[in-house]
Structure 1
Amino acid sequence: MRARQLDHRDGPRDECGVFGVYAPGRDVAKFAYYGLYALQHRGQESAGIASADLGGYIITQRALGLVSQVFAEHDLRALAGDLAVGHTRYSTTGGNEWENSQPVHRNDLRELALAHNGNLINAVELHSELVAQGVHFRATTDSEIMAALLATYPATSLEDAIAACIPRLRGAYSTVVMARDKVCAFRDPQGIRPLVLGRIDEDAWVVASETCALDIIGATYVRDVRPGEMVVLDERGVTSRQVVSGEREAFCLFEYIYFARPDSRMNGQLLQRSRGRMGELLAREAPAPGADLVVPVPDSGIPAARGFANASGLPMDDGFVKNRYVQRTFIQPGNELRQHGLRLKFNPLPEVIGGKSLVVVDDSIVRGNTTRQLVKMLRDAGAREVHFRITAPPIRNPCHYGVDMSSREEMVAHERTIAEVCEHIGADSVAYLSLEGVYEAINGEQASHCDACFSGRYPLEGTEGHLGKFALENQLPMIKA
C-alpha cells in the first residue's frame, strides 16, 4: 500500500481544474498547458492533456505530478492539434493512481476524452449498470463512468449523448469533453462547481474552471456556463443548449472562501476583494481588544488579514515565512526531521512576533492538527498571546460534491463548542465569521449557494448516503488497479 504523503494543509483539500479549447491553427497544447498551470491550485496529484487535429484521432498524455513535471516542450509538440481538453487533479473519487488521472480517453461507439471537476453521488449505481451492459473499466473514478456513459450511448452526436445522459447524473459536475471535431462543456443543474466561457479571437474559444485560466492565455471572459447548460465549441463558433432548467442553484460557498485563486472572478466578484471584506466583517464580529499585530497564515489568509487589519486599525506583518516550493510530491522526511513537521512549510519570525499579542487570520480549520502546531510555533517564537480568527464558520460536515474534507469524526468542530476548539488548539481565543457574514461579504444569498459543510443542509437528496472518496474501491474491489 502506498504511504500517505505528508500534507501540511489542515483546511479542505483542493479539488480539480478543467480546461477546454477549440482554436484551429493555434498551438492548443500550449494554451492547455498554461491554462492548467493557472489552475494548479485546484489539484496537485496529476495532470493531463488530450488533443486532436480536426477529424483526426485523439492523443492523450497524463501522469502523476504537477503540470510542470508532467509536460516538457517535446510533449507539447506531440500534442499539437486544433482542439484540446486538460485536467489537473486532486482525487475526490478514487485514489491517487495513474489509472485515475485525466482526461479519460475512451473509444467505444465514439471516441472522446473527458475531464471533470466534481463528484457523482450515484457513481456506484451507474457503474453497476454499465458493467451489466458489458462496459469495461480501467479506473475507479466517477469521471470514467461519465466518459463511458457518453462513449457508449447510441446517439448520432456527442452533444445528443450529453443531453440524454445529464438527467442520469446526480452530484456536482463541471465537465469538458472533446470528440474529434468539437469541445463540449456542461454543468450540473445546481451549478455547484464553477465553469466559465472565454474567447481568444474570432474563431477560437475556451472553457475553464476559473477566469484566471483565461487571463494567462489572453482570452476574454464572456460569461459563466449556466447550471444545467451545455455549450459546444466547433466550426460554428459557440452554440448552447439548456438541458435542465428550474432546479435550485447551489454554488459552492467555499469557492469564495478558499478554493479559487484570489485573482479569479466568480459571479461578478473579484475574490481578492471578497476575502478582504470577510476579514473586515470578522473584525466587526470578533474584535481582539489589546492585540498588537495581525498575522496572516500564508497564502490563503493574506487578503482577509489585510481586511481585518484595515477594519481594526491594527498593523499587519508577516509572522511566518512560507516555503512555496513544498508540494505534496516532495520526499518524505526521516524520523529525525518529523518533529520539525510544519517548519518545512512555515517558519515563524521571532523578531516580528516576539512579546506581542497576535491576531492570526486563516480561512478555515478542519482537523485542527496544523492549527495546533502553528499556535505552538508562535508561542515558541515568543508570542505573548495567540488569537485565531477564521473567515469561515465552523466546518462540521463533509463535502460530497468534489472536495476531500475528512469525516465528521475527524473535524475539530464536530461535537465541540468554540471554547473547546480553542482549548484543543491551544490558542487564547478563537472566533469564526458567521454564515451571514460570509454571504454579506460576497453579496450573495443562501438560496442560491451550497453551504452544507457549515450548515449540514445538502442541496441534493440522498447526499448523506454517499459512500465517500473510495466508494468504487470499497464496493467494487474487483476493479481496483
Structure 2
Amino acid sequence: MLAEIKGLNEECGVFAIWGHEKAAEMAYYGLHALQHRGQEGAGIVSSDGAQLHVHKGTGLINEVFEAGKIRNLKGQAAIGHVRYATLGGGGYENVQPLVFRSQTSSLALAHNGNLVNAFALKTQLEAQGSILQTTSDTEVVAHLVKRSGHLELEEAIKQALGMVKGAYAFTFLTENKMFVALDPRGLRPLSIGMLGDAYVIASETCAFDLIGATYEREVQPGELLIIDENGMRSTAFSSPMKRTLCSMEYVYFSRPDSNVNGLNVHASRKTMGKQLATEAMVEADVVTGVPDSSISAAIGFSEASGIPYELGLIKNRYVGRTFIQPSQELREQGVKMKLSPVRGIVEGKRVVMVDDSIVRGTTSRRIVRLLKEAGATEVHVRIASPPIVNPCYYGIDTSTKSELIAANFSVEEMRQQIGADSLAFLSAEGLEKSIVTDPNSITQGVCQACFTGNYPTEIYPDTIIPAYKD
C-alpha cells in the first residue's frame, strides 16, 4: 500500500556483481529494480583491482547518479545499496555502501536488515577506543572485522558475523574479493544469479530480470560466499537453523514479479487473498485492491469469492513522496493526492476493499471515506495479513507499540475508527499456509513476530533505537 503515508517503510536493498566489464552500470540498473525498497539514499562502490571507487548520495537512484557520474566508477566488480532513513538514521554519512580505508587495503560493505545487539556492540567498541562516524549499525561490523586479529579477511568476517545478532544480508567488497553473507535465520531475502560469466547478488530476483541475468539459487542462512578471480566458493559461518524469512516480504515489500525463497510473490499474494476470502467471506458487489501491493490479494479474493474484481481505486504516479511532509495533517492529505476512487465502479455498490496491512489506521480511514464519498453504499475492509501488534526489530520501520492501532484496540473498535461496515484480517495460520509449502523443511518458515510476538532471535528492546535501523 502507500507505505510512506501509513507508516510502514520499505526495507533496504543490496546488489552486487563480480566479473563484468560494466559492473557499475549493471549495479545502477539493478538498484533501479530495487528502488521500491528505499528512496532516501543510494550508492555504488566499484573495484578496478587496485582501488575502490565510490559515489553515493541522498535521494533516488537517478538523482544520485545524474550527469553520467556512473562512468567514474571503474572496474569489473561493484556493490550497491538503496536505503530508507528512520528517525536519527538519515544524512549522507549513513548512506551506503560504507567505505573504510587502511594502509594495506580498503573495505566497502552494504547491509539490508537490522542488528538487534548493535547498541551493546557499539558501547563495547567505544570502550576499546573505536570512534564510529555514523549512527548506522552497519559500521559496527566493519570495526568488528578490523579488530578480530585475523590476518585473513574471510576468518575476520566469520568472527564478526558470529558476534552480531538480528537480520542481515551483507555484501563486502575489497580491491580483489567480494564476500556475501546471510544471517543464520535467513530473515532477509538474497539470491544468486549469473550474467554470462559474471556473478550477481540481489535482494530480489526482479533485479536479475532487468539486467538479463539468470537466477541460480538462494543464498542460504548462515552461508558466506567468497567471490574472486578463481570463481565463487561457499562456506558456513553458522550452523544450520530453521529459516524464518520475514513474512512481510510476501505481504508487502517485495515486487510481485520477484521470487522469494522459490515462491513467486504475486502468486503468494493471490493465495493470501483466496485464503482471506475463505476465512472472512462477505456479501458484496465488487472487490477492489489498494494499489499497488494489494492488487494481487484482491484478485485472489475475487477468484475465491466469485465477486467481480474491478479497479475501484487509481493511483496517481506523478505525486511527490508525501512522507517528507512535516505534519501528520499533510501526510493524511497525501492519501487523497495519491489515490482516486473510480465513481463509475463503486457508486451504488457494496465494495470489498482489500489491503495488505493496517499500521496506524489513518490511511484506511481516509480510503474508506473516499470510497463512500464516491457513492459506495457499503465498504467492507479485508486485510491480507494478521493485525500488526508488535514492533519489528529486524529492519522494518514499524511504529512503537503505542502507535500500532491493532495493539491498542479490538477489531470492532478498529472497524469503528476507520468507518468500515466490516473489518477482518487474515489469520496467522492462514498467512503461513499461503507462503510455506513444506513446514517441515529447514529451508522454509517465516517470521511473524510483528503479528504474534514470537521473535526468532533474542532481542534487546531497551537498547534498540531507530537510528540503528538500516
Residues 251, 146 of structure 1: alpha-carbon distance in 2 compared, 3 angstrom cutoff: same
Structure 2 residue 33 is matched with structure 1 residue 38: yes
Amino acid at match of 1:324: R
Further displaced range: 87-96 or 225-234: 87-96
Amino acid at match of 1:34: Y
2:261 to 259, 262, 267: 267
1:9 to 5, 23, 27: 5
Structure 2 residue 149 is matched with structure 1 residue 154: yes
Amino acid at match of 2:369: K
**Matches for 1:243-322 after TM superposition, within 5 Å:** 243-289=237-283, 291-322=284-315
Structure 2's unaligned 5+ residue stretches are: none
Is residue 48–residue 60 contact of structure 1 (8 Å, CA) maintained in 2?
A: yes
Further displaced range: 185-194 or 130-139: 130-139
CA distance in 2, matches of 1:448, 1:441: 11
Structure 2 residue 342 is matched with structure 1 residue 349: yes
Partner residue, 1:459 = 456
Partner residue, 1:232 = 226
1:64 to 49, 58, 78: 58
Is residue 322–residue 331 contact of structure 2 (8 Å, CA) maintained in 1?
A: no
Is residue 114–residue 468 contact of structure 2 (8 Å, CA) maintained in 1?
A: no
Residue aligned with 2:169, SS: strand
Further displaced range: 333-342 or 85-94: 333-342
CA displacement 1:228-272 (0-9 Å, x = unmatched):
110011111110111101334221111111111111111211111
TM-superposed deviation, 1:20: 0.9
TM-superposed deviation, 1:185: 0.4
1:217 to 211, 214, 220: 211
Residues 258, 335 of structure 1: alpha-carbon distance in 2 compared, 3 angstrom cutoff: closer
Partner residue, 2:92 = 98
Aligned-CA RMSD value? 2.2
CA distance in 1, matches of 2:172, 2:243: 23
CA distance in 1, matches of 2:160, 2:344: 60
Is residue 107–residue 151 contact of structure 1 (8 Å, CA) maintained in 2?
A: no
Amino acid at match of 2:255: R
Is residue 94–residue 100 contact of structure 1 (8 Å, CA) maintained in 2?
A: no
Residue aligned with 1:284, SS: helix
Further displaced range: 449-458 or 310-319: 310-319
**Matches for 1:135-154 after TM superposition, within 5 Å:** 135-154=130-149
CA distance in 2, matches of 1:102, 1:251: 23
TM-superposed deviation, 1:152: 4.3
Amino acid at match of 1:419: E
Residue aligned with 2:413, SS: helix
**Matches for 1:122-201 after TM superposition, within 5 Å:** 122-201=117-196
Structure 2 residue 389 is matched with structure 1 residue 392: no
TM-superposed deviation, 1:334: 10
Structure 2 residue 108 is matched with structure 1 residue 119: no
CA distance in 2, matches of 1:236, 1:197: 17
Structure 2 residue 404 is matched with structure 1 residue 411: yes
Residue aligned with 2:466, SS: coil
Partner residue, 1:424 = 417
2:318 to 322, 325, 346: 325
Is residue 183–residue 234 contact of structure 1 (8 Å, CA) maintained in 2?
A: yes
Is residue 436–residue 446 contact of structure 2 (8 Å, CA) maintained in 1?
A: no
Structure 1's unaligned 5+ residue stretches are: 1-5, 473-481
Further displaced range: 250-259 or 87-96: 87-96
CA distance in 2, matches of 1:83, 1:175: 16
Residue aligned with 2:44, SS: strand
TM-superposed deviation, 1:127: 1.2
TM-superposed deviation, 1:275: 0.4
TM-superposed deviation, 1:358: 0.3
Residues 364, 335 of structure 1: alpha-carbon distance in 2 compared, 3 angstrom cutoff: closer
TM-score (norm 2): 0.94
Residue aligned with 1:377, SS: helix
Residues 7, 75 of structure 1: alpha-carbon distance in 2 compared, 3 angstrom cutoff: same
TM-superposed deviation, 1:450: 1.1
CA distance in 2, matches of 1:100, 1:410: 26
TM-superposed deviation, 1:410: 0.5
TM-score (norm 1): 0.91
Is residue 93–residue 140 contact of structure 1 (8 Å, CA) maintained in 2?
A: no
